[in-house]
Amino acid sequence: MKIKILLASVVSFAAMTSMSHAEKWDMALAYAATNFHSEMAAEFAKEVAEKTNGALEITTHPSGALFGGAEIFGAVRKGLVPMGERLISALGNEDPIYEIDSIPFLATSYADAMKLYKASKPALEKTLAAARTTLLYSCPWPPQGFYSIKEANVPDDVKGLKFRAYNPTTSKIAEFLGMAPTKIEAAELSQAFATGVAESMISSGSTGYDRKLWEHVGYYYDVKAWLPRNMVIVNTKAWDGLDDSVKAVVKEAAATAEAKCWAKSEELDSWYVEQFTEKGMKVAPASPEMQKAFEEAGVKLRDEWLERAGDAGAAVLKAYEGM
């Protein structure tokens, strides 16, 4: 009897202490609250709060409100914020594995993008671990197309255009085509096009839609060049500090968010592009000349990537090609 009472009080004490340790985490997001990536992050946060009975409450901060896109990875790594979402390939200068999803024309469908994710995930997780961060989930943007303020039928048409880049790969493609790249976060896009700082870019219909680019840009070429992914990461020290039961809930919610987000991205892909036509943009596939120029840039970039990524990179590509 005594033991039972003692046990009961130990249990309620444990419950109390775990309650007093209820964690409140911020999650830094770069993209608009209405973007599907941000909506999934909000659903993920809600599921975690519900299933942990409030032991972990995550508040999402979209549109770069807490940290701008370019700062999120560093902020999570340093523990300035426990959790955040970042466009993986924007980190390409830190390690080539971060930009495997943006090698042009390597994986251009959702099925191939998933294969590439699976083939590269162990290497990605290892690289993230060395940066004291842990991967929770990763979700693709729709296939990438080319936006231009002027009609782009042949490579000469785009020469000299100011190009908005979001990662090293897009900067290099722009240079290859004689455009002038500048790195600009999605949150600043409308302004960049409105003021003429940007005149062209490669991105998905999703980002053009979020930023109402039809107000400034007349042409969208549906190149389907690659599907870059975002990743949701957590500072490893913060992660290690969670109870195992909370970790299990977070992992499960992350797996759910990942599956839903991939499906949502694919579902919205053509819808975004349809909206452009409705808003009066000219939507077309790339002309054969432009397609050829993009593909030539792609071959160069792939070779260059393999050189930088060495044996480890070659092994990942081989695993992907064998899937």
Coil, strand or helix at 313: helix
* Rounded Cα gap, residues 85 and 71, in angstroms: 11
Least distance CB 167 / ligand PCA (angstroms): 8
Site string for ligand PCA, 224-243 (x = CB under 6 A): ----x---------------
CA atoms within 13 A on the CB side of 121: 13
Who's near 49: CB < 8 A, 6+ residues apart? 56, 57, 58
Kindly state whether residue 204 participates in binding ligand PCA, applying the rule CB under 6 A.
Answer: yes
Residue 135, Cβ neighbours under 10 Å: how many?
A: 17
Stretch near ligand PCA under the rule CB under 6 A, chosen from 202-210, 216-224, 242-250, 310-318: 202-210
Of 166, 214, 220, 226, the residue at the interface with ligand PCA (CB under 6 A) is 166
Kindly state whether residue 141 participates in binding ligand PCA, applying the rule CB under 6 A.
Answer: yes
Least distance CB 269 / ligand PCA (angstroms): 10
Kindly state whether residue 220 participates in binding ligand PCA, applying the rule CB under 6 A.
Answer: no
* Rounded Cα gap, residues 259 and 267, in angstroms: 12
Q: Report how many residues bind ligand PCA under the rule CB under 6 A.
A: 9
Q: Which residues pair with 181 in a beta bridge?
A: 163
Residue that is written with structure tokens 């936006």 in the block: 147
Kindly state whether residue 120 participates in binding ligand PCA, applying the rule CB under 6 A.
Answer: no
Residue number of the CB closest to ligand PCA reads 204
Who's near 235: CB < 8 A, 6+ residues apart? 76, 77, 78, 79, 81, 82, 83, 132, 133, 134
Q: Which residues pair with 59 in a beta bridge?
A: 26
Identity of the residue, 25 or 209, whose beta carbon is nearer to ligand PCA in the bound complex: 209
Residue 51, Cβ neighbours under 10 Å: how many?
A: 17
Residue that is written with structure tokens 């190009």 in the block: 163
Kindly state whether residue 186 participates in binding ligand PCA, applying the rule CB under 6 A.
Answer: yes
Binding residues for ligand PCA restricted to 57-96, rule: CB under 6 A: 87
Question: What is the CA angle 275-231-244, rounded to 5?
Answer: 135
Least distance CB 141 / ligand PCA (angstroms): 3
Least distance CB 275 / ligand PCA (angstroms): 15
Who's near 318: CB < 8 A, 6+ residues apart? none
Least distance CB 62 / ligand PCA (angstroms): 13
Least distance CB 12 / ligand PCA (angstroms): 49
Kindly state whether residue 98 participates in binding ligand PCA, applying the rule CB under 6 A.
Answer: no
Stretch near ligand PCA under the rule CB under 6 A, chosen from 16-24, 112-120, 200-208, 215-223: 200-208
Coil, strand or helix at 199: coil
Stretch near ligand PCA under the rule CB under 6 A, chosen from 11-19, 201-209, 285-293, 297-305: 201-209
Give the binding site for ligand PCA (CB under 6 A). Answer: 87, 141, 166, 186, 203-204, 206-207, 228
